[in-house]
Amino acid sequence: MAGCIDLTAGSIRRECVDRTLITWTCGVQTLLSIVEAVWAGRGETEISYWLVQRWAGKQALQIQRKPLCKKIKTEEEKNRRPREKHTQDGLYVVVLLFFKKLDITMNKDTEIDMKEVELNEVDPEKQPMTGDGPPAGGEKNGSVKLKVPEDEVTFTGLSKEELMKVAGTPGWVRTRWVLLVLFWLVWVGMLAGAVVIIVQAPRCKAIPEMDWWNEGPLYQISDVEAFSEGLKGVEAKLDEIKELKVKGLVLGPLHSVQPNTPDALFLDQIDPTQGRKEDLTAVLEKAHKRGMSVVLDLTPNYRGNAPWFSGDVGDVLEKVKAAAAHWLSLGVDGVKLSGLNVTSSSADWPKLQAVVQGNRTDSRKRVLMGAAEHLSAADVSQLVSSSGVDLLLSDLLSTNNEGVKRTEVMDLLKPQHRSLAWGLGATQQDQLSKQAMTPGLIRLYQLLLFTMPGTPVFTYGDEIGLQAGQGSASPKMVWDIQKEPADGTPVNETAEAERKERVDIRKWFISLSDLRGKERSLLHGDYYSLYSSTSSLSFLRVWDQSNRYITAVNWGGAAEKLKLKLAPTEGLELPETATVTLSTDEALKAEDTVSLDEITLAAGGAVLLQFPYKA
């Protein structure tokens, strides 16, 4: 409702119009508006609240009471104002009583208590005609007391009876049926879509059975005295070893023996210079708590010329079998034997196999690990099959220096890669730095070993680029490389540069070890050669729908362009580009995108590229 009719415009000059007429006109307009609201279907609560807001909020009264001319000039007009006020308030009460009579029920929060409405009317003849002073008792003459709720209106909704009455109407019945049919149609459509997606989606390749020695690198500690002053020191350094994310330790040999003297061989006793049996037990317990297994090297004549002496292997093998049973009963997780090509041909070899491999459980598998030197790739393949060892460590990478030869070796042995271990110097228990003379080459071979198919094996110190010892002497392990010089102390610049280089190599080692453990393509993916030359090679690792990885290395003394080419393979092709994951080449930064048609690697450069699976 826009308000009362404006009767002040037009030909009516500045004289006041009869206010009684105006009051009744406004009241009728208000009444008509309420009736219109009822006819339009407004709820009872809405009308009640609107009525209170309209009158009790003083909107209507203010409109009705505002002067229709700027100034009342006559005394008569002043005397007439109280009478008009009575008439307005009287109309207000009449309208309220009218709707009360019509049983327009108000919400309890907005209901006006009619008992609170009081008309302090005085007989018009007894009121003062001037209207200047306030009425007696402090009340304005003709005022209406009205209780106005302060809280906001709360919508109560329909009652149960009203809802049931509406729910049974034909319109709502049809609507419910339409909604029900639509719901089931949508549900069946979604179910059918899910079935189609499942049927048409490519099948995931079954994960191959993996043993703990396939899940991460092995860390050789051939000389525990040089490593950390005996077995007690090894126990103290296990937390630092765990940071390298290795899966197992290969300790020793630790047993007591006189070089080239079979009668002085005591495989079930620890050399006192290495520690005690209790120290080894403590190492086992702590390593197992940290998720690392421990393999014990039982190579009999490790200090002599031939690993199995030069006599009858059968007698020595019987001692090895008894010692293996002894150490396995104490919690050792496997046995390593060098000179596997010599001993596996013995008639007593199956007995040792039975001791190590015969009592396996699903929760704890023990590994029979062998090492062999100076064999061809074909001989290694034959030895893996005939000996039945779980893991064979060879020196094929060390004896084949050309990229073409190394690629041929990997191509030939890839069907058996879960039984193969790789190292550069690890077979002879040498540090990697004995053949990789620079920090750049150390990083290169670390990347190569971590991404080749098979288990990488490192000798202690390889993670920091420790320089190999002179002759047969084991180098002393360097610790606390991350400890920076104290402020104000003299600094040897050469020593400090060497320390920082070791820290960087260690970070590189850990990043590779972590990546191999997370990525299925690197962990147990298929292998495909892409390129090889005299001093470089490249290959691809792929597993099902996982990210694919390309390794490219150049250990030569000059830059080289590698033209990658994948032999025709069903369901597999190289993309045009790939992303750099790790790199030792300054021209290839991490996250760079490179073309796979031709990759240029600097001398001593290595890069690991990644590209996603595409259906």
pLDDT tens-place string over residues 528-571:
999 999 999 999 999 999 999 999 999 999 999 999 999 998 88
- Tell me: do 254 and 275 sit in the same domain: yes
- Tell me: do 278 and 403 sit in the same domain: yes
- Mean pLDDT within 279-299: 97
Inside any domain, residue 378: yes
- Tell me: do 578 and 606 sit in the same domain: yes
Inside any domain, residue 460: yes
- Tell me: do 339 and 297 sit in the same domain: yes
- Tell me: do 327 and 457 sit in the same domain: yes
How many domains does the chain contain in total? Answer: 2
Asked if residue 108 has pLDDT above 60, the reply is no
- Tell me: do 500 and 541 sit in the same domain: no
- Tell me: do 291 and 435 sit in the same domain: yes
Asked if residue 492 has pLDDT above 70, the reply is yes
Q: Which domain holds residue 296?
A: 212-478+495-522
- Tell me: do 313 and 233 sit in the same domain: yes
C-beta of residue 265 within 8 angstroms of C-beta of residue 219: no
- Tell me: do 266 and 393 sit in the same domain: yes
- Tell me: do 276 and 318 sit in the same domain: yes
Q: Spell out a b/e string for 162-189, using b for 16 or more CB atoms within 10 Å of the CB, else e.
A: eeeeeeeeeeeeeeeeeeeeeeeeeeee
Inside any domain, residue 64: no
- Tell me: do 514 and 548 sit in the same domain: no
pLDDT tens-place string over residues 416-473:
999 999 999 999 999 999 999 999 999 999 999 999 999 999 999 999 999 987 777 8
Inside any domain, residue 330: yes
CA–CA separation, 92 vs 27, rounded Å?
Answer: 8
Inside any domain, residue 467: yes
Asked if residue 132 has pLDDT above 50, the reply is no
C-beta of residue 536 within 8 angstroms of C-beta of residue 560: yes
Residues 412/417/419/421 CA torsion (nearest 10 deg): 100
Inside any domain, residue 43: no
pLDDT tens-place string over residues 197-256:
888 877 778 888 889 999 999 999 999 999 999 999 999 999 999 999 999 999 999 999
Find the angle CA(498)-CA(503)-CA(505) to the nearest 5 degrees: 95
Percent of the chain with pLDDT over 90: 62
CA–CA separation, 367 vs 197, rounded Å?
Answer: 43
Instruction: Please give the helix or strand (H or E) that residue 297 lies within, else none.
Output: strand 293-297
CA–CA separation, 291 vs 144, rounded Å?
Answer: 87
Among 453, 487, 522, residue at a domain's last position: 522
Inside any domain, residue 32: no
Beta-carbon count within 10 A of 581 CB? 18
Query: Which residues share a beta bridge with 218?
Result: 248, 457
Decide: pTM greater than 0.75.
no
- Tell me: do 400 and 541 sit in the same domain: no
Inside any domain, residue 606: yes
